[in-house]
Amino acid sequence: MVLRKYLAEGIGTFWLTFAGCGSAVIAASFPQVGIGLLGVSLAFGLSVLTMAYAIGHISGCHLNPAVTLGLAAGGRFPARDIAPYVISQVIGATLGAATLYAIASGAPGFDLAKGFAANGYDAHSPGGYSLFSAMLAEIVLSMAFLFIIMGATHGDAPVGFAPIAIGFALTLIHLIGIPVTNTSVNPARSTGPALIVGGWAMAQLWLFWVAPIIGGMLGGVIYRIISEKPAAQVTGDAPSRGAGAAAE
């Protein structure tokens, strides 16, 4: 049944948003034993790695509109499925952020003004990075992410290792990008927390749709150009190499 692919994408994106943003909101600032930037980066990577093995064979485990559009640009995904995949991802991310808020807001001293893992630039960048820096970072990181996904899921790539490569790629991306924008590379992941925070987060959300999609499509096209031969489409209809893939 085709709906199972969309449901899988919603569940997977729920997990990515809840686990990744949850590590930042709940665990990173926990007194004395906070996990810090490295821990948050690993949490995002592990959220994709675990879901890739769980649902990669069902939906391809995109969990990210930029991945879906990047794979389509790279010739790996049918255009007819783009809209339902993106809708499913945004719904999943929104529910993930809402669930996280319901838990996190139960702690004494919880303050939504601290950002709730929302993405931002200028005054709302963790390092105070400008709009230009944030846009360039999101484009380059998203482009690299799609390039790695395309290669890891290629028909000639080692079988069964794609989720590991993709999960560690997302970890590395967060190690680079958290100081700049809190790292998006995923419009759905950005939308969930922005809807909770409102105000500045919603006003700056446009960047975290535009830049990752541009970068993702560039990555898909570039890999398609240099690849020796096309691979199977990354959907739940074809045998999956573990991920289509991913995330934040």
Instruction: Tell me if 231 sits within 8 A of 153, measured CB to CB.
Output: yes
Those residues with Cβ within 8 angstroms of residue 12's Cβ, 6 or more apart along the chain or in another chain: 51, 54, 55, 59, 61, 63, 92
Which band of pLDDT confidence, cut at 50, 70 and 90, is reported for residue 248? very low
Which residue has tokens 């899921």? Answer: 153
Residues 6+ apart with CB under 8 A from 73: 216, 217, 220, 221, 224
pLDDT at 241 over 70: no
Compute CA distances 30 → 35, 44, 107, whole Å: 8, 18, 11
175-194 mean pLDDT: 98
Cα angle 41, 241, 44; round to 5 = 10
Q: CA–CA separation, 112 vs 240, rounded Å?
A: 39
Are 194 and 205 spatial neighbours (Cβ–Cβ below 8 Å)? yes
Amino acid at residue number 179 = P
Each residue's pLDDT tens digit, 196-226? 999 999 999 999 999 999 999 999 999 999 9
Tokens found for residue 43: 């949490």
238 confidence band (pLDDT: 50, 70, 90)? very low
Where does 35-161 have alpha helices with state H? Answer: 36-59, 65-73, 82-104, 131-152
Cβ contacts of 114 within 8 Å, gap of 6 or more = none
Angle ∠(73,94,28) on CA atoms, nearest 5: 100
Q: Which two tokens stand for residue 4?
A: 């199972």
Residue 234 pLDDT:
52
| % of the chain exceeding 70 in pLDDT | 91
pLDDT at 243: 52
Fold classified for 3-108+118-226: Glycerol uptake facilitator protein (1.20.1080)
Query: What are the sequence ranges of the domains in the chain?
Result: 3-108+118-226
Instruction: For residues 205 and 195, give the distance between their C-alpha atoms in angstroms, rounded to a whole number.
Output: 9
**pLDDT, position 209:** 98
CB neighbour class for 7 (10 Å; exposed up to 12, middle 13-18, buried from 19):
middle
Model pTM score = 0.91
What confidence tier does 245 reach under pLDDT thresholds 50, 70, 90? Answer: very low
